[in-house]
Amino acid sequence: MSYAKREEIRQLRLQKKRQQRLATLIGVAGVILVVVALIGLPSLIDKYRPAGEFVSITPQAYPFEDGRTLGDPNAMVVVEVFSDFQCSACKNFAAITEAQLIESEYFQNGQVYYIARQFPFMDNTSAIKSSDQAANASMCTAEQDRFWDYHAMLFANQDTSNATAYSDRRLVAFAEALGLDMKAFNNCFDDNAYAAEIQADIDRGTLLSVSGTPTVFINGEKLGVGNMVPSYDEIITAIETALSLQ
């Protein structure tokens, strides 16, 4: 076989190998694109899904409201409540116990500093991150000092049987209904601007052995036995005890 013939065969083999490599790369790229599309598709659909009907709330004034806190930051008693907006027990706590606490003399006279901590965990095994997105949205309202109204709006529209109750479109619609600065809210929400702060709450909760929500702490001490949610009277008793020790 002549040199020219051998060279021709060698070049043909090289060309075939290059074609095979290119086909493999195209195939891998195609698989990656499909995976990325499947991951991104739920959020894309969620973004443009109609908000539908939802419950509106009447905005109200809160004592010493500042972002997601209430009360005097220099108060002798600090109450921390770790919550997930998809948690039905959290909804009940907010509607009854928390509402009573806010009306109590301890809050009204600035003796208590109340911090709403984020602990979104109920969607940890779900592809639809409703808890995380609700936490994200609520933090964006906090920077406009409307956290507590939005907090009430979220719980008023909680539906644990409906995965789209906290769709992105509905979370935006809740903010619109409260008359927020929507440019600021949307920029914050789309950028997930408070991811680090939410994670810091989760880390703190994990450090404090939070395993469910709502979990209540007074001056760093957990109230309730196991995952039992403390009652209003139990919290008031703990507040009075903490005040007496000052």
The end-to-end CA distance of the chain, in Å, is 101
50 preceded by cis ω (within 30°)? no
Which CATH number covers residue 217? 3.40.30.10
Tokens of 59: 């905005």
91 and 165 inside one domain: yes
Q: What is the pLDDT along the chain (246 residues), one digit of tens a residue?
A: 565 655 665 666 666 666 667 666 676 555 565 444 445 545 545 555 565 788 999 999 998 999 999 999 999 999 999 999 999 999 999 999 999 999 999 988 889 999 999 999 999 988 889 999 999 999 999 999 999 999 999 999 999 888 889 999 999 999 999 999 999 999 999 999 999 999 999 999 999 999 999 999 999 999 987 778 999 999 999 999 999 987
Residue 75 in any domain: the answer is yes
Nearest one of 11, 109, 116 to 64, comparing CA atoms? 109
Residue 61 in any domain: the answer is no
Contact in structure between 216 and 89 (CB atoms under 8 Å): no
7 and 94 inside one domain: no
Could you write out the three-class secondary structure of 83-139?
ECCCCHHHHHHHHHHHHHHHHCHHHHCCCEEEEEEECCCCCCCCCCCHHHHHHHHHH
Distance CA 41, CA 165 (A): 18
pLDDT at 10: 62
96 and 138 inside one domain: yes
75 and 42 inside one domain: no
Residue 234 in any domain: the answer is yes
43 and 80 inside one domain: no
163 and 119 inside one domain: yes
pLDDT at 227: 78
Nearest one of 85, 52, 48, 82 to 159, comparing CA atoms? 85
How are the residues of the chain apportioned to helix, strand and coil, as percentages rounded to the nearest 5? Answer: 55, 10, 35
Is pTM, for the whole model, over 0.85?
A: no
Contact in structure between 140 and 189 (CB atoms under 8 Å): yes
Tokens of 175: 């903010």
Residue 87 in any domain: the answer is yes
State which residues form the domain around 152: 69-244
Instruction: Give how many domains the chain has, as a whole number.
Output: 2
113 and 233 inside one domain: yes
Residue 189 in any domain: the answer is yes
Distance CA 214, CA 157 (A): 18
